[in-house]
Amino acid sequence: MKEAKIKVLALLPMELPKEIELDNTLEAMQNFVGRLIECITLSDTGSEVTLVCNDEGKLLGLPLNRPLWDGADVLAGPGFLAGCDNEGNLTFLPQSAMDFYKEKFRAFIEKIKKRNLSYAAMRADGKLPREEYQALCKQADDEIAHLEQELKAISPAPDPQTVSSDMKEIHDFLSQKFDVHGARLAPELIDRFVEVVTPPLPITPTAGS
């Protein structure tokens, strides 16, 4: 049975992946990607996942979104990831696939940083004029800043109470092992250290063995 709404992973240019609910209709999908839709099968997780994107994204000059297939191609314009049933209907994206692709596409930040290094190498080799180099670097830096700001916004801040509790446990443990006031290690810690770092003595064979 076709679901009325499906939970998918939205992929928008210059934004981190995010879970959304989408009406499971052709009209809603076309509105999301901006025009005719194209369905592409991805299989990074071992199970089929469907990428729904704009069929003419590159021809229309839509903003580049993120690399696909480890850089073999690139997604242009908005898209989303969904599951697929045996009858070819789009379904909700399983949580395991949702989590996998969230992390996979977050790595886009690192790819942009590597792109900056490539620009620098091209500039050093004289293959890139200074003005073009500066413009490309600024674009990459702006993308990185935007994505890192988004990542910071969605990453939960550590609970101060939890951090305080963890630090107390660490302090209590170290207090048992170290004599801080006398600047002296506890004997059992020294013995354990010697045991770990000292290689065992070779066994000398005796006559007749």
Task: List C-alpha distances in Å: 163 to 12, 158, 172.
Answer: 35, 7, 14
| Bridge partner list, 66 | 75
Identify the residue with better confidence: 130 or 209: 130
141-167 pLDDT, tens digit per residue, is 877 777 667 656 645 555 556 556 666
Amino acid symbol at 79: G
7-18 average pLDDT score: 88
Report the 3 state secondary structure along 138-157: HHHHHHHHHHHHHHHHHCCC
Residue 209 has pLDDT above 50, yes or no: no
Amino acid symbol at 205: P
Q: What is the pLDDT of residue 133?
A: 81
Q: What is the pLDDT of residue 23?
A: 93
117-132 pLDDT, tens digit per residue, is 787 888 788 888 888 8
Q: What is the pLDDT of residue 192?
A: 58
- Among 41-45, 69-73, 92-96, 189-193, which is the least confidently predicted range? 189-193
66-78 average pLDDT score: 79
- CB neighbours of residue 28 within 10 Å: 12
Residue 1 — very low, low, confident or very high, per pLDDT cuts 50/70/90?
Answer: low
Residue 199 — very low, low, confident or very high, per pLDDT cuts 50/70/90?
Answer: low
13-51 pLDDT, tens digit per residue, is 878 888 999 999 999 999 999 988 999 888 766 667 899
Q: What is the pLDDT of residue 65?
A: 82
Query: How high does pLDDT run on average in the chain?
Result: 75
Would you kindly state where each structural domain of the chain is located, as residue ranges?
5-106, 110-154
Q: What is the pLDDT of residue 206?
A: 46
pTM above 0.75, yes or no: no
- CB neighbours of residue 171 within 10 Å: 9
